[in-house]
Chain A
Amino acid sequence: MSRDAIVLLGVNHKTTPLAVREKLALSAGYEEPLRALGQLEELREYYLLSTCNRVEVLFTCRDIERAQKRVLELLFAQSITAEELDRYVYRHVNIKAVEHLFLVAASLDSMIVGEAQILGQLKEAYRHATKIGCSGFILNKLLHKSFSVAKRVRTETRIGAHAVSISYAAVEMARKIFGDLAGKKVMLVGAGEMAELAAEHLVGQGVAEVIVANRTLQRAINLARCYNGHAISLEELLGQLQRVDIIISSTGSPDLILFKEDVRSVMRERRNRPLFFIDIAVPRDLDPAINDLDNVYLYDIDDLHNVVEMNKSERDKEAVKAQRIIAEEKLKFGKWLANMESTPTIVQLRARIEQQICFEVEKTMGRLGDMDEQERQGLEKMIAAITGKIAYPALHYLKTDNHCIALPDRIKTIRELYQLDDGSNDQESQ
């Protein structure tokens, strides 16, 4: 009688460390895992999203527990242990899943709240799902809704207007120095979480290249792969200064790693093209005197904090507005889902009435097959009309909002009144 459940399983940057996310990320593209999911007969509709910060699978099914187990086995179990699965993977069901999807699409669940990239990634993932044809009636509706919710949040709030993270503040400063960031090159020195965040932003702004320099090269290579960049060792740092425009430094080094004189000589070779240093390491990596050079700008973490503080209160107000919009849309979608619940009952009810009319007609008039074509068509039309008329009050009762009686109760009433659940009619129980 009830409709399929909507289930969302996933890991994101809030619940799961990068080391685990890396293993789970679908690096080979969507097609293969989507086809693999297609082999599971428990799933009705399904769709996958994989970004640097999250891997999520959304599906509809009958038996939640069984489907969940199969999906986790298929997607994640080869990469991480059962214990890790338990600890990191979150599960949202039905309206919770809807809400989560809306939050993700509207970029409220992002590492940087309000960033615009996620919506594009969501659409891309959905495109893959539709290409294979694994999203159906419910998921199509749900995903399209999530796009429009994201759009609504973006147009009705100024959620993306102010930099509220250190990393985004850095991007904002970079835009004041370079204007357009397209075509600029970024170097991350040290591959910490902050650096990762800033790189995320800069890639969103269209920088041409990301270079990662790190003490352990493996870590640098992993991070660089995330942004299609390349990795270098720390020793090559000075040579690279000539090529890049923005340097984000976040090493754990106790001493300064770059001095004013180093940069001064580089500037001559760069023909004075501006350099923007962002030092988010504590203790600092970069000589503060670098800021005294012409066309060189150095911001450390305190400087960026000041910028952020100016913007923060503004963004908070906007996030509250966005949450309200999402709550609203969640309610609307919940209603649509609930109405979905009544659909099987409606179909069944009509079938039952029609069947009984046919039965009576046959009893009185003999077999319908004896009539000529025209007469039979006329009779069928009449039966359909009578069915509609008789079913109307019941359908109206189901479909109109009733504040006193909840929809499941109304469905139950109808089913009892018309004896839809009585076992004598097996063919209706689908």
Chain B
Amino acid sequence: MSFLFFQGSVVVYLVSAAAYLVFFLTQKTPLRRTGRAIFLAAFLIHTLSIIARAVETGHTPITSHHETVSFFAWSVGCCYLSFRWRYTVKNLGVFVSIFVLALMLVAAFSSRGVVPLPPALQSWWLPVHASITLLADGFLALACIGGIMYLLQEHEIKKKRFGLFYSRLPSLDALDKLNHHCLGIGFPLFTLGLITGSLWAKQAWGAYWHWDPKETWSLITWFLYAAAVHQRFTVGWRGRRVAIISIVAFLSVLFTLWGVSFLLKGVHTYVS
């Protein structure tokens, strides 16, 4: 059942990203509304698939690689929609829908098998720690996307050559506000994720901190974001520099998610 929903949502995400992309190139306004409606539909189907998966496996479906990436995509969609509800950032949906589609494709190609949960992981910390961390990642992903859009737009304005992006991207100020908002929510959530993870580690493995690769990389990521947030909120860094840090720090997030699991071995790898 969850599989069916999952496949369905991938297809609908694909249609939504296609509609958004065509809109982006042709600038036909009705298409944007279509793209947004389809994206919302895909998001709802995706939500159903996660609920169904939780029912089928009997635990929070954020343990295998497939589940994690799928939940990651869901949280990006969730953050986007929450953001969309408060501010309008012109054409952000185009970038978000493509990013979400990419994550969904990664999830679709990884093993979908349900593995039983080892006793150490059977705790109510699992939904708390995993969902908070991934939700934080969702906001940080948006900050990264906003950063990329900022750099594209800033490049055209600074170089005074107006190409594809100038008229299609929002003002620099809007993109900077997006970054501000996403860091402002994403960073505290990420911190909370680290703390809950540490508490869970104490309960499961007997120590707050193990220095296993995933934890180490999380800490590195945390320091990167801490630097960005510190510079932003105290020294008043903004625009280009914060955009670059947001992108670099997000690459570190992705490495924590994938690089650590596949390249380095530790207690934190997905159940396999």
By a beta-carbon cutoff of 8 Å, the part of chain A in contact with chain B is: 173, 175-180, 270-274, 291, 294-295, 297, 299, 303, 306-307, 310
Interface residue count on the B side (C-beta < 8 Å): 18
Q: Which residues of B contact A (CB under 8 A)?
A: 153, 157-158, 160, 162, 166, 170-174, 235-241
B residues within 8 A CB of A173? 157
Contact for B160 among A178, A272, A295, A306, CB less than 8 A: A306
User: How far in angstroms is the closest Cβ of chain B from A263?
Assistant: 15
- Does the CB pair B158–A297 fall under 8 Å? yes
**Interchain CB contact under 8 A, A274 and B239:** yes
CB distance from A296 to the nearest CB of B (A): 9
Q: Is the CB of A307 within 8 A of B157?
A: no
Give Cα A291 to B160, complex, Å: 11
Nearest B residue to A307, CB-CB? B162
Contacts A271-B235, A272-B237, A272-B238 given; does A291 touch B173 at CB 8 Å: no
**In the complex, are the beta carbons of B160 and A176 less than 8 A apart?**
no
A358 CB to nearest chain B CB (Å):
69
Residue of B with least CB distance to A180 = B173
B172 touches A272 (CB 8 A): no
Q: Which of B153, B171, B238 contacts A178 (CB 8 A)?
A: B171
Q: Are B236 and A272 neighbours in the complex by a CB distance under 8 Å? A: yes
Contact in complex: B235, A179 (CB < 8 Å): no
Q: Are B171 and A176 in contact (CB under 8 A)?
A: yes
Chain A positions within 8 Å of B153 at CB level: 176
**Contact residues in A for B174 (Cβ distance below 8 Å):** 179
Which among A180, A291, A310 is the interface contact of B158 at CB below 8 angstroms? Answer: A291
9 other A-B residue contacts (CB within 8 Å) besides A178-B172, A294-B241: A173-B157, A175-B171, A176-B157, A179-B173, A271-B238, A272-B237, A272-B238, A272-B239, A295-B240
- Closest CB of chain B to A269's CB: distance in Å? 10
Chain A residues within an 8 Å CB radius of B236: 270-273
A334 to nearest B CB, angstroms? 39
> Nearest-CB distance from A44 to chain B (Å)?
50
Q: A297-B157, A310-B162 are in contact. Are A179 and B170 (CB under 8 A)?
A: yes
Return A262 CB to nearest CB of chain B, in Å: 19
Contact A176 B172 (CB under 8 A): yes
Could you list 7 examples of A-B contacts with CB < 8 Å? A176-B166, A177-B173, A179-B173, A179-B174, A273-B236, A274-B173, A297-B158
* Chain B residue with Cβ nearest A269: B236
Q: Is the CB of B238 within 8 A of A295?
A: yes
How far is A76 from B162 in the complex, measured between Cα atoms in Å? 48
A271-B235, A272-B239, A294-B241 known; A299-B160 Cβ under 8 A = yes
Most buried by A among B174, B236, B240: B236
Are B238 and A179 touching (Cβ within 8 A)? Answer: no
Q: Taking CB as reference atom, which chain B residue is nearest A294?
A: B240
Residues of B within 8 A of A175 (CB): 171
A255 to chain B, nearest CB (A): 24
With both beta carbons as reference points, the residue of chain A lying nearest to B175 in the complex is identified as: A179
Expressed in whole angstroms, the Cα–Cα distance for A273 and B176 within the complex equals: 11
Q: Which residues of B contact A271 (CB under 8 A)?
A: 235-236, 238
Chain B residues, CB < 8 A from A306: 160
B171/A177 in contact, CB under 8 A: yes
Which residue, of B160, B162, B172, has the highest number of chain A Cβ atoms within 10 A? B160
Q: Which of A179, A270, A295, A303 contacts B239 (CB 8 A)?
A: A295
Q: Which residues of B contact A297 (CB under 8 A)?
A: 157-158
**CB-based nearest A residue for B90:** A179
Nearest B residue to A292, CB-CB:
B158
**Cβ–Cβ < 8 Å partners of B170 in chain A:** 179
Q: Give CA–CA (A180, B88) in the complex, Å.
A: 13
Chain A hits for B160, CB < 8 A:
299, 303, 306
Q: Which chain B residue has the least Cβ–Cβ distance from A178? A: B173
The CA of A274 and the CA of B236, in the complex, are separated in Å by: 11
Inter-chain CA distance A303–B159, complex, in Å, is: 10
When the two chains form their complex, are residues A294 and B162 in contact, meaning their CB atoms are under 8 A apart?
Answer: no
Q: Are A274 and B172 in contact (CB under 8 A)?
A: yes
- Nearest Cβ distance between residue B192 and chain A, in whole angstroms? 28
- Name which residue of chain A comes closest to B161, CB basis: A306
Residue of B nearest to A174 (CB): B171
Q: Whole-angstrom distance between the alpha carbons of A273 and B160 in the complex?
A: 20
Compute how far the CA of A35 lies from the CA of B158 in the bound complex, rounded to whole angstroms.
Answer: 55
Closest CB of chain B to A289's CB: distance in Å? Answer: 13
In Å, the complex CA distance between A176 and B152 comes to: 13
Q: Which residue of B162, B172, B237, B240 contacts A177 across the interface (Cβ within 8 Å)?
A: B172
Report the bound CA distance from A180 to B177 in whole Å. Answer: 12
Min Cβ gap A164→B in Å is 16
Residues of A within 8 A of B235 (CB): 271
CA distance A291 to B240 in the complex (A): 14
CB distance from B244 to the nearest CB of A (A): 10
Q: CA A7 – CA B160 in complex, angstroms? A: 49
